[in-house]
Amino acid sequence: MPSKIHNKPKTKARQKKSQRYSLPKDSFAFISEGQTAYSKEKPFIVYYDDPKRSIKLLKGDCIKILNQAGENSVDMIFADPPYFLSNGGITCHAGKMVSVNKGKWDKSRGVEENHKFSLEWLKACQRVLKPDGTIWVSGTTHIIYSVGFAMQELGYKILNDIIWYKRNAPPNLSCRYFTHSTEIVLWAAKNEKSKHYFNYQLMKKFNNGKQMRNVWQISTPLAEEKKFGKHPTQKPVELLTRIILASTKENDLVMDPFCGSSTTGVASILLNRKYVGIDFEEEYLHL
């Protein structure tokens, strides 16, 4: 009986699918040790590895790592790239005036260089995404238009722009602008041919039986999400939970190329998804 099944001639549909792309046998082979994709010097250090739960944290430059990782291996990417807003300005934190600077990695390199960077990492992500895989990218005005334009240039299919509304956003101290209280999260499929996964029914259920809209009201991270230390641009677990539930199934592989404190990893573990997080700062991986 089993041999019959194995010898079964491929149907046209099956043939077409296998010609379209070659999936790695083990989806977690994306970045496994000793993988043949690493023909050159290994561009990362495995900072944390939990093979039982298929969780990995890699320390290194995400572009170098992704350019050598297995093609068509990731189901979903969440990326929270540098905002490029650390320009010496001020902001308000816990009622006090504080510097807006997040770190060296967040210094603007100028509009053109910033856009080159967007193109480079988005291209690297597109290569590792499965044909029907999707990517979510969050950002503020400083970078999100470059990300959107780069996505269009690379042939991604933009599915939605989510407006993340932060009810508890800090006030604007200068009183010369409206209070910044939103971030945009772009959701896109690998290309026009992608048949992306969307858990429509679950999202509707979360929204009391009505179609979920693209404005999401979610508070900035809760105090308990920072009990092991915090990242200057940490995302709330609630945001990542919704994103993962909307666009992946259990055991799918989720990857975050700018993982910081790995909010994406925490939500992936809670929801039974495999996870690879990349960051070049050890201090953040430690969180």
Ligand X SMILES: C[S@@+](CC[C@H](N)C(=O)[O-])C[C@H]1O[C@@H](n2cnc3c(N)ncnc32)[C@H](O)[C@@H]1O
Q: Which residue has the tokens 């170098």?
A: 64
Q: Does 146 bind ligand X (CB under 6 A)?
A: no
Stretch binding ligand X (CB under 6 A), from 30-38, 161-169, 182-190, 259-267: 259-267
Contact pattern for ligand X over residues 43 through 62, marking x by CB under 6 A: ------------------xx
Tracing tokens 């043939």 back to the chain, one arrives at: 15
Residue pair 111/218 in contact by the 8 Å Cβ criterion? no
**Any contact of residue 82 with ligand X (CB under 6 A)?**
yes
101 by Cβ neighbours in 10 Å (0-12 / 13-18 / 19+) ranks as middle
Nearer to ligand X, 48 or 280 (CB): 280
Minimum distance, C-beta of residue 173 to ligand X, in the bound complex (Å): 22
Nearest Cα to Cα of residue 103 among 6, 236, 232, 212: 232
State the residue for tokens 């105090």. 223
* Nearest CA-CA partner of 128 in 250, 251, 28: 28
Q: Is 233 in the site for ligand X (CB under 6 A)?
A: yes
Calpha distance 161→149 (Å, rounded): 13
Contact call for residues 129 and 135 (beta carbons, < 8 A): yes
Binding status of residue 260 toward ligand X by CB under 6 A: yes
CB of 200 to ligand X, least distance (A): 26
Among 56, 231, 242, 273, binds ligand X (CB under 6 A): 231
Task: Determine, following the binding rule CB under 6 A, whether residue 275 of this chain makes contact with ligand X.
Answer: no
Spatial contact of 13 and 247, defined as CB atoms under 8 Å apart: no
Indicate whether 165 belongs to the interface with ligand X (CB under 6 A).
Answer: no
Q: Does 125 bind ligand X (CB under 6 A)?
A: no
Could you tell me the smallest distance in angstroms from the CB atom of residue 77 to ligand X?
12
- Among residues 73, 86, 248, 263, which is the contact residue for ligand X, using CB under 6 A? 263
Q: Minimal distance in Å, beta carbon 224 to ligand X?
A: 15
**E strands in 100-220:** 129-139, 157-165, 182-189, 215-217
Task: Give the interface with ligand X as residue ranges (CB under 6 A).
Answer: 61-63, 80, 82, 105, 231, 233-235, 258, 260-261, 263, 278-281, 284
